[in-house]
Structure 1
Amino acid sequence: MLSRISRAVFMTALGLSCVVPTIQSAYAALGGSPMTPPAGASVNSQAVSSAAVAHAAASSAASTASTPSSYTVRTTTFGNGTVVREYLAQDGTVFGLAWNGPQMPNLNDLLGTYFPQYLAGVQAARAVRGGHGPVAVDQDSLVVHSGGHMGAFAGQAWLPQALPAGVSGSDIQ
């Protein structure tokens, strides 16, 4: 009997040792610093000027105070094929995120201190319409759209109050 228990413990430990390394955590936080890429991930950064966006917005009477700004889009491709794009303000804080790929990234890590607010928004939305499926949390201080199915997940999250001048939520892709 003891050998069965020992064998079960060994097999469980062996199984966990095979599974745990495949779990990839992003270590980023919306409203905070960019992620530390996990081993095996590739990272590319691209500076973006919102001048064209701001120019189009400035043509409307409501947005004449908009001034062009720049931000950085940092793209991390995980070993599993999931891609996370972080939108960084000039001071280096993450004001937006987008993801797509075969596995859902860890939203707890990505959303950081905003994760409890996101969960509350999801619970409220599901209480109204029920079921599962795509999730949209649209609040004054947090917007998260997430959906997909096994093998194809996508989503965006941003802080409306932290968007640079000339940048809108539709720019987070």
Structure 2
Amino acid sequence: MWSRIRRAGRVTALVLPCSLLALAASQSAQAALGSAPLTPPSDASVSSRVVQPASGTTQSVMRSESSAASSTSSTSASYTVRETTFGNGTVVREYLTTSGAVFGISWHGPQMPDLNDLLGSYFPQYVAGVKAVRAARGNARGPVSVDDSGLVVRSGGHMGAFSGVAWLPSELPAGVSGSDIQ
């Protein structure tokens, strides 16, 4: 599966073949904060739970892709948490309003999801925030916290263990705070 690069008779690096990189690229989330939930790849599993923040109760259900879309229109629920586990082990949770729009996203797992896909039209705002944070700390790398009035993103981790959250403060349903996005 791995190919080796040899220099002067010794192995200096391991390289993943291009076919596997293409497979990983095809597993991108294709979701966007502020719009419709992601369309998971065929090797992903999806579950949903309806959360009513006033009572703190949840109702967990396993749903197919077609029934998950219809479940988000429930008028009695404040929001739905839709969890997608990708074949690579990365888990993305989407927090949906009753109309089905994504107001928050969280992720954790061995691979960083494509934030361009997850953040959608908010990605340029995130990139600008990351540049500002890094410039303020002398271009040092590390966990990132972007906290603008219209977008909050917290991301960090290391190779094999990445995590983060993102939400739209103005789109949070009544009774929901940023700390509920986990």
Secondary structure, counterpart of 1:51 in structure 2: coil
1:117 is aligned to: 125
Q: Is the 8 A contact 1:69 1:166 kept in 2?
A: no
1:56 is aligned to: none
With normalisation by structure 2, the TM-score equals 0.77
Q: CA deviation at 1:52?
A: 3.6
Q: Which runs of 5+ in 1 are unaligned?
A: 1-14, 54-67
Q: CA deviation at 1:69?
A: 5.6
2:111 is aligned to: 103
Could you tell me how far apart the structure 2 residues matched to 1:22 and 1:108 are? Answer: 15
Q: Is the 8 A contact 1:69 1:165 kept in 2?
A: no
Q: Which has the higher helix share?
A: 1
Could you tell me how far apart the structure 2 residues matched to 1:19 and 1:169 are? Answer: 34
With normalisation by structure 1, the TM-score equals 0.81
Structure 1 residues 124-143: aligned runs within 5 Å: 124-130=132-138, 131-143=140-152
1:161 is aligned to: 170
Runs of 4+ with >3 A deviation: none
1:62 is aligned to: none
Alignment of 1:93 onto 2:101: yes
1:10 is aligned to: none
- 2:19 partner amino acid: S
2:50 is aligned to: 47
Could you tell me how far apart the structure 1 residues matched to 2:153 and 2:55 are? Answer: 25
RMSD (Å), alpha carbons: 1.5
Alignment of 1:71 onto 2:73: no
Secondary structure, counterpart of 1:109 in structure 2: helix
2:34 is aligned to: 31
Q: CA deviation at 1:19?
A: 2.0
Could you tell me how far apart the structure 1 residues matched to 2:45 and 2:122 are? Answer: 26
Q: CA deviation at 1:50?
A: 1.1
Could you tell me how far apart the structure 2 residues matched to 1:101 and 1:119 are? Answer: 22
1:18 is aligned to: 20
Structure 1 residues 165 and 92, CA, compared in 2 at 3 Å: closer, same or farther? same
Q: RCO greater where, 1 or 2, for CA within 8 Å and sep 6 or more?
A: 1
Q: Is the 8 A contact 2:43 2:87 kept in 1?
A: yes
Task: Name the count of aligned residue pairs.
Answer: 146
Map Cα deviations across residues 112-162 of structure 1 (whole Å, 9 max, x no partner): 000000000000011101300000000100000000000000000000000
Q: CA deviation at 1:172?
A: 0.1
